[in-house]
Amino acid sequence: MRAHGRIDRASVKAIESDLQTIQAGYGYGDWNRVGSVFASAPLRAQYVRTLRFWKEDAGGQLRVDLIASQPLGAGRFAVTARFSGDRRSVPSYGLFEFSSGPRGARIVGTISGLHGTNYRNVNWTISRTKHFIVYHSPYQLVGADKTGLADLEYQRAVFARKFGVKLPPRAAYYLYPEQRLIAVWTSRFCGSNPDNVGCTVQGALPPTIHTSEWVSFHEPIHVYQTVMEPPRYTDPLFIAEGMAVALEDKEVDPRQSDYCSEVAYVPLDTCARFAIGNVKLISMLPDTGFDAADPGYAYSLAGSFVKYLILRFGYRPFGKFYYLLAAQPKDRVSDYNVATQRVFHTSIEQLLRDWSNQLCGAGCG
């Protein structure tokens, strides 16, 4: 279902034609064709660079769909476009301002419909579900994309059932129309790195997500972790981020994590096999080592390791391990071993060896 304001059919067709030009240009690797739709040189360069990276990284078939359009006056339109590929991968969105004339339509810029200096005073549109308050642009969560609200609730219910826990009654979800606005409106406590598309403030009331992804199945995991940790303690990043990476899937299934995916779906272990030769695993157990590693390597390896633990031992035993590890005073190897010995009856070193041997059975690097 698409949502359109009072907009004439000819303009809709012109906008759809431009989006199909982007789709066809991606398919053929014709970046001049992709760029021809953009009147703004900086925006043209940004999208050509992004789409080219997607294609060269993993390929896949790109769909560019018109989700919604609203007239702004004087031949200008606010357009919500969805960029999607494999159904297992979270889509990306563009909020564009189109200008339409006798020769067709072109993208002249981006549009958010939002203004403010801090996320607390931005004029958000608000959508609510039983357990989420979602703050977003008036051009987001429109038409078919409203189904994402039900997907959030579904993932929450699946997580609670699989881990056997009672989750926080409410979470705030701030959905930013562009990644760069996360840093601007959070005073850079989140999103300062362009690769950082989200963060979660677990100690806020309610726990608060900041992200430019819709739907993010990663950040809600950090909300749910709050009921799996002792008061005033948090788990080491290697396990906390690994858990969020492994379970960023609607079904909370680590075999379906889309962490490595853009347009094409890439299994998590594929990235881990490439990364494992570039870091010393034991060095990433403390937060200082995890932070020092390349983020792409650190997150994919942590996620693959948590996937291994959950598939080998089960969700609830992993949850017990998570709690016991978070209860330790530090994040040393000896602290990990207290938790692994009690729950899994072996050392963290042995678990890392078992996992890496399984991961690299068919080769790594």
Share of the chain above pLDDT 70, in %: 98
Q: What is the pLDDT of residues 291-307, one digit of tens each?
A: 999 999 999 999 999 99
**Domain match, 157 and 138 both:** yes
**Domain match, 134 and 221 both:** yes
Confidence of residue 24 (pLDDT cuts 50, 70, 90): very high
**Domain match, 155 and 278 both:** no
Of 141, 62, 69, 139, the closest CA to residue 105 belongs to: 69
Q: At which of 87, 110, 133 does a domain end?
A: 110
pLDDT over threshold 90, residue 365:
no
Work out the average pLDDT over 137-150.
91
Share of the chain above pLDDT 90, in %: 85
pLDDT value for 3: 54
Q: At which of 49, 78, 110 does a domain end?
A: 110
How do beta strands 92-101 and 132-136 pair? unpaired
Cβ neighbours for 61, distance < 8 A, ≥ 6 positions apart: 27, 85, 263
**Domain match, 105 and 64 both:** yes
pLDDT over threshold 80, residue 224:
yes
**Domain match, 364 and 237 both:** yes
**Domain match, 351 and 280 both:** yes
Q: What is the pLDDT of residues 115-132, one digit of tens each?
A: 999 999 999 999 999 999
**Domain match, 187 and 297 both:** no
Mean pLDDT of the chain: 94
Number of independent structural domains in the chain: 3
Where do we find the tokens 């189904």?
A: 147
**Domain match, 11 and 86 both:** yes
φ/ψ region of 74 (left if φ > 0, alpha if ψ in -120 to 50, else beta) reads left
> Distance (Å, rounded) from C-alpha 104 to C-alpha 99?
8
Q: What share of the chain is helix, strand, coil (3-state, %, to 5)?
A: 45, 15, 35
pLDDT value for 194: 79
Of 36, 185, 27, 49, the closest CA to residue 103 belongs to: 36
pLDDT value for 233: 80
Q: What is the pLDDT of residues 241-283, one digit of tens each?
A: 999 999 999 999 999 999 998 888 999 999 999 999 999 999 9
Q: Cβ distance 42 to 104 under 8 Å?
A: no
pLDDT over threshold 60, residue 290:
yes
pLDDT value for 263: 84
Q: What is the pLDDT of residues 313-352, one digit of tens each?
A: 999 999 999 999 999 999 999 999 999 999 999 999 999 9
Work out the average pLDDT over 140-153.
91
Q: What is the pLDDT of residues 78-115, one digit of tens each?
A: 999 999 998 888 899 999 999 987 778 999 999 999 99
Provide the domain limits for residue 159. Answer: 112-228
Confidence of residue 57 (pLDDT cuts 50, 70, 90): confident
**Domain match, 106 and 122 both:** no
| Single pTM value for the model | 0.94
> Distance (Å, rounded) from C-alpha 26 to C-alpha 81?
15
Question: Computed from CA positions of residues 208, 209, 215, 221, in that sequence, does the dihedral angle turn out positive or negative?
Answer: negative
**Domain match, 76 and 97 both:** yes
Confidence of residue 1 (pLDDT cuts 50, 70, 90): very low
Q: What is the CATH number of the domain that holds 11?
A: 3.10.450.50
**Domain match, 82 and 156 both:** no
Cα separation values, 151 from 83, 217, 289, Å: 18, 9, 35
Q: At which of 228, 250, 268 does a domain end?
A: 228
Question: Computed from CA positions of residues 225, 228, 234, 238, in that sequence, does the dihedral angle turn out positive or negative?
Answer: negative
> Distance (Å, rounded) from C-alpha 45 to C-alpha 34?
10
